Amino acid sequence: MATLTLENVTKRFADGDDEIVAVDDVSIEIDDGEFLVLVGPSGCGKSTTLRMVAGLETISEGAIAIDDEIINDVPAQRRDIAMVFQSYALYPHMTVRENMRFGLEESTDLDTETMDGSVERTAELLEIEELLDRKPGELSGGQQQRVALGRAIVRDPSVFLMDEPLSNLDAKLRAGMRMELQRLQNDLDVTTVYVTHDQTEAMTMGDRIAILDGGKLQQVATPLECYHRPRNLFVAGFIGEPSMNFFDATLEGDELVLEGTELSYPLSAPIREELEGETELVLGVRPEDVKILDEATDDHAFPVTVDVVEPMGNENNLLATFEGSELSINAIVDGMRHVQADERYAARLPESAIHLFDRSSGRALH
């Protein structure tokens, strides 16, 4: 049981005469037993952050602590941390049993019988008992993944670190393992940091998610908070699939005028008051919040032509263009709703669902 704290952690790599700031002043407190997902696009610094926690990379500035002990200078093997890698990193010449026992031999001085007992109990937990005498080359990708997890679990560490552990599995297996990992983590209650670039994994698995971009922490919050109250344009665009629609807009009086169009969107006084005098804005609305109506019923609805209908079964994804402009919008409607491509409809952007950002800083204002 442990809390994990990152305080003003920075990592710089030399790059010829220059340097790369891979992780830039990141502070996060991860609670005892919490499942924190570190998410962001390729190159944002996720793996480097995890590797500094694991002790596989030195820390340029700042401190990492488990409970109250700063571990900056504690060697990797003495950190009481177990890591699961994307590549599984199993030893090919060892059986599953030997692979799982190896981690224990490295980190404890238990006798063989006790170690074998732990390996068998962990194998049962992961339903891989019948694979214990096979070698990794005789296992499927999903089975290898379980063994890699088993090797981490059997060590009973204070902290689990997982670096894209599901990314080598096919989509169906990945969805199944996602749930299984969550169940395991609930049962084991071990503080976990899980790195992924997949926002579905982040949304579904994390107690909280930490979103990184360009080495900088953008937001740390529950998945729903990131979804409903993104702190900035980056988080708003990153969380949610399909992505939020964004339109450059300028506040003129009490209306937002959408750039490149004649469309104006009236804003109620309480929202205008939140804008802190900013007038160059970005209007955001999630596809699932856009209503597709047969005709415009109020001044938050605008005539559109539907260009593409993608039937997904339970819902239809639409791409539509605002009439008299080249501006397009994504919308998701119920699968039972019949919408025809090349026909005219109205897209309604309910005021209760809109987000507004300062265009220059990207900061969320509403």
Shorter beta-carbon distance to ligand ATP: residue 17 or 130: 17
Helix, strand or coil for residue 4? strand
Q: Structure tokens of 64?
A: 């990492």
Query: Least distance to ligand ATP from the beta carbon of 47, Å?
Result: 3
Helix, strand or coil for residue 356? strand
Q: Which residues of 310-348 are buried (b: 16+ CB within 10 A; e: fewer)?
A: eeeeebbbbbbbbbeeebbbbbbbeeeeebeeeeebbbb
Q: Is 48 in the site for ligand ATP (CB under 6 A)?
A: yes
Q: Is 17 in the site for ligand ATP (CB under 6 A)?
A: no
Cα-Cα-Cα-Cα dihedral sign, residues 64, 69, 72, 75: negative
In this structure, the number of other CB atoms found within 10 A of the CB of residue 16 comes to 5
Mark the segment that binds ligand ATP (CB under 6 A) among 46-54, 68-76, 140-148, 323-331.
46-54
The single-letter code of the amino acid at 192 is T
Among 2, 6, 22, 244, binds ligand ATP (CB under 6 A): 22
Check if the beta carbon of residue 327 is closer than 8 Å to that of residue 306.
no
Shorter beta-carbon distance to ligand ATP: residue 201 or 289: 201
Which is nearest to 34 in space by CA: 193, 175, 173, 249? 193
Query: Least distance to ligand ATP from the beta carbon of 20, Å?
Result: 5
Q: Is 87 in the site for ligand ATP (CB under 6 A)?
A: no
Q: Is 62 in the site for ligand ATP (CB under 6 A)?
A: no
Q: Is 47 in the site for ligand ATP (CB under 6 A)?
A: yes
Mark the segment that binds ligand ATP (CB under 6 A) among 44-52, 107-115, 173-181, 249-257.
44-52
Q: Is 223 in the site for ligand ATP (CB under 6 A)?
A: no
Q: Is 251 in the site for ligand ATP (CB under 6 A)?
A: no
Q: Structure tokens of 227?
A: 């979804």
Query: Least distance to ligand ATP from the beta carbon of 168, Å?
Result: 13
d(CA 366, CA 362): 12
Task: Mention every residue, 6+ apart, whose C-beta is less than 8 A from residue 42.
Answer: 197
Pairing of strands 18-30, 208-213: unpaired
Mark the segment that binds ligand ATP (CB under 6 A) among 38-46, 77-85, 256-264, 319-327.
38-46
Which H or E run contains 101?
helix 96-107
Mark the segment that binds ligand ATP (CB under 6 A) among 40-48, 114-122, 298-306, 333-341.
40-48
Query: Least distance to ligand ATP from the beta carbon of 268, Å?
Result: 40
Query: Least distance to ligand ATP from the beta carbon of 64, Å?
Result: 15
Query: Least distance to ligand ATP from the beta carbon of 195, Å?
Result: 7
Could you tell me the maximum CA-CA distance found in the chain, to the nearest angstrom? Answer: 78
Mark the segment that binds ligand ATP (CB under 6 A) among 37-45, 186-194, 268-276, 297-305.
37-45
Query: Least distance to ligand ATP from the beta carbon of 51, Å?
Result: 8
d(CA 9, CA 115): 36
Integer angstrom CA distances of residue 116 from 107, 108, 111, 139, 352: 15, 13, 9, 21, 58
Shorter beta-carbon distance to ligand ATP: residue 60 or 328: 60
Q: Is 56 in the site for ligand ATP (CB under 6 A)?
A: no
**How many Cα neighbours within 13 Å face the side chain of 26?**
35
Helix, strand or coil for residue 261? coil
Site for ligand ATP in 140-199 (CB under 6 A): 197
Q: Is 42 in the site for ligand ATP (CB under 6 A)?
A: yes
Mark the segment that binds ligand ATP (CB under 6 A) among 2-10, 42-50, 95-103, 167-175.
42-50
Q: Is 44 in the site for ligand ATP (CB under 6 A)?
A: yes
The single-letter code of the amino acid at 179 is M
Among 3, 7, 24, 43, binds ligand ATP (CB under 6 A): 43
Chain contacts with ligand ATP (rule: CB under 6 A): 13, 20, 22, 40, 42-48, 197
